[in-house]
Amino acid sequence: MLKFAARQAGRFALGLLGAMVLAAAISAIAAPRAHGLAPFLEAICLRFWAFAQLDFGRSAISGLAAIDELGLRMPATLALVLAGGGVALIVGAPLGLLFGAGPIRRAAAPLIQIVTAAPVFCAGLALAYGAAHLLHWPVSVNAPEMSATPIFSRGAQSLEFALLPVLTVGLAGAAAVQLALRRVAAQSAREAFRTGLKRMGLSALEIEWVYAVPRVIAGLLANAGEIMLTLLSAAVVTEWVFHRSGAADLFVKSVALEDWNMTALILFIFAGLAFLADFLGRVGAHALVNEDKK
């Protein structure tokens, strides 16, 4: 277990190092006189060293330190991602287990592929249209930008404004969750241990609960990095569609306005979150499988 955790920690560190190099390269675009290969490489090295000292430069848009600007926006995005992750588990886990094996999986496979291939903004706009015309809720599409205050902190009307972005991110995450669970459930259904356990007299329910369920949960944990990346990507689109003033929306604006210091920092933070989720998920999955073997 310790060796596996050490390997995963090394993998996590290498991922962060690669993300820092990429962020330094993006930030170096804004460096003066970084024209030509040699000056650009020098600028990358200087920005990498600055990042290592937690100096992420200043935003070209606001003039504030990039880390301070991001600190104002990040809580709203984290709240959106966490709430969307909860919806993803509630919706995606039953679908993944239901369509994970047997004739239902084969019959539903074409429909699932079509639904999961739909862009995130299509789900957001469909939810916004239904909420506005059927439920008569206030919808923030084409509305003034919402503040960066966490999404559930301003009463009932704020809850109505927050629900559509959360559902949009959650449905995107649910697609990733159900895909991961379908893969694991289909693999578990073909495991050779099932035949031996049936011969030992165990019922199908006992086999599923004692042996299959831990493996399915471990498979979901092992895909935590992929799910987190999906949630973050959905948050970028969702905050832009619904005018939420979070870190993901700031990322889009920074790219559009060529604020490369801010773009680099947000990209590094998002990559770090995805790598951290992957690290924790893989270690948790390994621990769960080892405990099940005992």
Structural domain harbouring 218 = 72-293
Q: Give residue 142's pLDDT.
A: 47
pTM for this structure?
A: 0.77
Residue 145 in any domain: the answer is yes
Residue 143 in any domain: the answer is yes
Residue 188 in any domain: the answer is yes
Residue 5 in any domain: the answer is no
Residue 202 in any domain: the answer is yes
Q: Give residue 105's pLDDT.
A: 53
What CATH number did the domain enclosing 286 receive? 1.10.3720.10
Per-residue pLDDT of the chain (294 residues; tens, 9 = 90+): 788 889 999 999 999 999 999 999 998 887 766 567 788 888 889 899 999 998 888 888 888 899 999 998 999 899 989 999 999 899 888 877 776 555 555 555 555 555 555 554 455 555 555 555 455 555 554 445 554 445 545 444 555 567 778 888 888 888 888 888 877 766 666 665 556 656 666 555 555 555 667 777 888 888 899 899 889 988 888 887 777 788 888 888 888 888 889 999 999 999 999 999 999 999 988 887 775 555
Q: Give residue 19's pLDDT.
A: 92
Residue 16 in any domain: the answer is no
* Three-class secondary structure assignment of the chain: CHHHHHHHHHHHHHHHHHHHHHHHHHHHCCCCCCCCHHHHHHHHHHHHHHHHCCCCCECCCCCCEHHHHHHHHHHHHHHHHHHHHHHHHHHHHHHHHHCCCHHHHHHHHHHHHHHHHCCHHHHHHHHHHHHHHHHCCCCCCCCCCECCCCCCCCHHHHHHHHHHHHHHHHHHHHHHHHHHHHHHHHHHHCCCHHHHHHHCCCCHHHHHHHHHHHHHHHHHHHCHHHHHHHHHHHHHHHHHHCCECCHHHHHHHHHHCCCHHHHHHHHHHHHHHHHHHHHHHHHHHHHHHHHHHC
Residue 216 in any domain: the answer is yes
Residue 18 in any domain: the answer is no
Number of domains in the chain: 1
